[in-house]
Amino acid sequence: MSIEQDLLTYIKKELAPNSPDLDVETNLAGVVDSTAVMEVVVWIEGKYGFDVEIDDITPENFGTVRALVNYIEKHRKK
Partner 1 sequence: MKSPNVRLFELLRTNAERFPDKLAAVFPGREQVTFGVLDDHSDRVAARLRKLGVGHGDRVAIFHDNSLPGLVWFWGVQKVGAQTIDVPTLAGKPTIQGVLDEARPKAIAFDAKQLKQLEGDDGVKLPPLWLSSAEAADAAKERGARLHTLDEILATEQATCDLPAGSADDVALVVYTSGTTGRPNGVMLSHTNFVLNLQAANELMHLGADDSILVVVPLYYIHGRMQLLLHTMLGGTLYFSAGFQFPAKVHAELTEYGTTGFSGVPYHFKQLLDRSKIARDPPPSLRYVLITGGALTSPELRRLAEALPDVGIHLAYGQTEAAPRITWIGPQELFVKPGSLGRALPNVTVEILGSEGTPVGPGQIGEVVAGGPNIMKGYVSGDEKALGKIDDAGRLRTGDLGYLDAEGHLFLVGRSSEMIKSAGERIFPQEVEDVVGRHPRVREVAVIGVPDPTLGEKLVAYVALHPGPDIELSEFRAHCLQSLPFVRVPKSFEVVDELTKTPSGKISRSAIRKAVLEGTPVGAAKIAEDS
Contacts to partner 1 by CB under 8 A: 13, 15-18, 29, 32-39, 54-59, 62
- Least distance from C-beta 56 to partner 1, angstroms? 8
CB 23 within 8 A of CB 30: no
Closest CA to 52 of 42, 60, 37: 42
- Least distance from C-beta 28 to partner 1, angstroms? 8
CA dihedral sign of residues 69, 74, 77, 78: negative
- Least distance from C-beta 36 to partner 1, angstroms? 4
Nearer to partner 1, 2 or 20 (CB): 20
